[in-house]
Structure 1
Amino acid sequence: MALMITDDCINCDVCEPECPNDAIFMGPEIYEIDPHKCTECVGHYKEPQCKQVCPVNCIPFNPEWRETPAQLQAKYEQLQAAQQKT
Structure 2
Amino acid sequence: MKVHVDRKLCDNHGQCAIAAPDVFRMNDDGVLEYDENITDDQVDEVEEAIDVCPVQAILLASD
Q: Which TM-score tier does this pair reach, normalised by the shorter chain? A: 0.5 to 0.7
Where in structure 2 are there 5+ consecutive unaligned residues?
Answer: none
Task: Report the structure number with the largest CA radius of gyration.
Answer: 1
Question: Percent identity over the alignment?
Answer: 27
TM-score, normalization: structure 1? 0.52
Counting only pairs closer than 5 Å after superposition, residues 5-44 of structure 1 correspond to structure 2 as 5-7=5-7, 8-19=9-20, 22-26=22-26, 30-36=31-37, 38-39=38-39, 41-42=42-43
Query: Comparing both chains, which one has the higher relative contact order based on Cα–Cα distances under 8 Å and sequence gaps of 6 or more?
Result: 2
Where in structure 1 are there 5+ consecutive unaligned residues?
Answer: 67-86
TM-score, normalization: structure 2? 0.66
Instruction: Name the count of aligned residue pairs.
Output: 60
Checking the alignment, whether the CA contact within 8 Å between 2:20 and 2:45 is kept in structure 1 is no
Greater strand share, structure number: 2
